[in-house]
Amino acid sequence: MFRSVTVSQSPSIEPTIVPRDEHVISRSHISERALTVLYRLKNAGYGAYLVGGGVRDLSLGREPKDFDVATDATPDEVKALFRNCRLIGRRFRLAHVHWGPEIIEVATFRALHPPEAEDDGDRVLEDGMILRDNVYGTIEEDALRRDFTINALYYDIATFSVVDYAGGMADLKAGRLRLIGDPEVRYREDPVRMLRAVRFAAKLGFVIDEATAQPIPRMADSLDDIPPARLFDEVLKLLMAGQGVETFESLRQHGLFRYLFPATDTALDDDEHGQFITFLARALESTDQRVNADRPVTPAFLFAALLWPAILAQLPRGKMVSGIDRELFEQSITEALERQLRQVAIPKRFGLPMREIWAMQPRFDTRSEKKATRLFSHPRFRAAYDFLLLRAEAGLADRDLAEWWRAFTTESADAPPPTPARRRRRGGRRRGGGSPAPERAGSD
């Protein structure tokens, strides 16, 4: 059993209470299922608050991706109220309340611990990094242990007011992203917070507070301590949310990109003519356009683009020429992937189609209609074809050859059609996750 702990050393802070008539949050904009969770907790005598990104986005007039709830009820007490509840997580124990594909995440208030506090089984640290934290506390402590001030806002279902312990409402109005507490300590606790700072700033169009931004370049190497699988998930959030271009530029500016894509970052630094930067910018632009138009995307295509400069950098003269030696090309792919996978894991369901996109590129080196028609039957044709066009736009492939393929594909009745648009569902967590989706993405 996890226990509830209040840390007596933590200072008492008087929160700012924003009454209903002074904020824009309306229950009509909150998921019906989230309201059910909030009211059931309240009626059972527990504190119940909408918290985090849901409050932030509603305050900015945005549609939240999901709704999270915070409470003084323990996970076991939440489970007792909802038959459709599952307890998950070892690092952070959480309650997930399921309604079909929609999931409302319920978290118990967590306690503050001073940096010198010893590990006790419920809270485990290693070199300042939080590995597990299941010590429960008060709403005040819970607010102050969150990462950014704008994510530490609580909508109280009992009074319809917003409770603000960290100055988040003022930062929302100022368009400022600010960490709670000492930035170096907070980044040491979880280095992924540096990536989150870049992501939120790009997503919201905010400026990162100077004190929050200043330690990032010198602490960026702490990302080496993060499991590659977790970094894969973070890359999807960073670059497949509709602000990929701005996020990429900020990752480079703050010295973070090299710890996600080291070989690509080196290739970009050595690129005298800027073709690799142009290529990645075009790939991210089309990804952003596709995401923002609710068109499907696949990480396979985006990762194929992100690693392409690393592959080319290992080839003679740093480019793929007509009639390239296939064995040399495959060796460059293998070496680039081996280095990348030490940093960011790429699941096989994306890694295999990514390699197919690359492997098809030399096969476009033809203007034979017979050979071209045979390529149409390849399940990865559309993605590989879009990749060819992207290379040509950046000057990394013969533009005349790409134009021939564009004309032939457009005119041929045998060419596979572009992937149709699909509507992305919103309103709550979806079972199994699912990554948002780039133009040029092809099909899975």
Which residue of the set 57, 68, 156, 164 is catalytic? Answer: 68
CA-based nearest residue to 433, from 208, 240, 203, 149: 240
- Rounded Cα–Cα distance for residues 97 and 85 (Å): 4
Which residue of the set 72, 133, 142, 147 is catalytic? Answer: 147
CA-based nearest residue to 405, from 377, 364, 357, 443: 364
Q: Catalytic: 147? A: yes
Q: Catalytic: 325? A: no
Q: Which residue do the tokens 């409402």 mark?
A: 169
State the alpha helices, DSSP H only, in 29-176.
Answer: 32-43, 53-59, 75-81, 139-144, 168-174
- Rounded Cα–Cα distance for residues 311 and 178 (Å): 38
Give the H or E element holding residue 350.
Answer: helix 348-360
Give the angle subtended at the CA of 239 by the CAs of 236 and 240, to the nearest 5°. 65
Q: Which residues 6+ apart lie within 8 Å of 136 measured at CB?
A: 2, 3, 4, 5, 72, 74, 108, 109, 110, 111
Q: Catalytic: 400? A: no
Which structure tokens are listed for 436? 């948002």
> Do the Cβ atoms of 401 and 367 come closer than 8 Å?
yes
| DSSP code, position 152 | -
- Rounded Cα–Cα distance for residues 240 and 226 (Å): 20
Which structure tokens are listed for 329? 């090309």
DSSP letters, 51-87, are: ETHHHHHHHTTPPPS--EEEESS-HHHHHHH-TTEEE
Which residue of the set 57, 66, 142, 209 is catalytic? Answer: 66
Q: Which residue do the tokens 């900015």 mark?
A: 60
Indicate which residues carry an active-site annotation.
Answer: 66, 68, 147
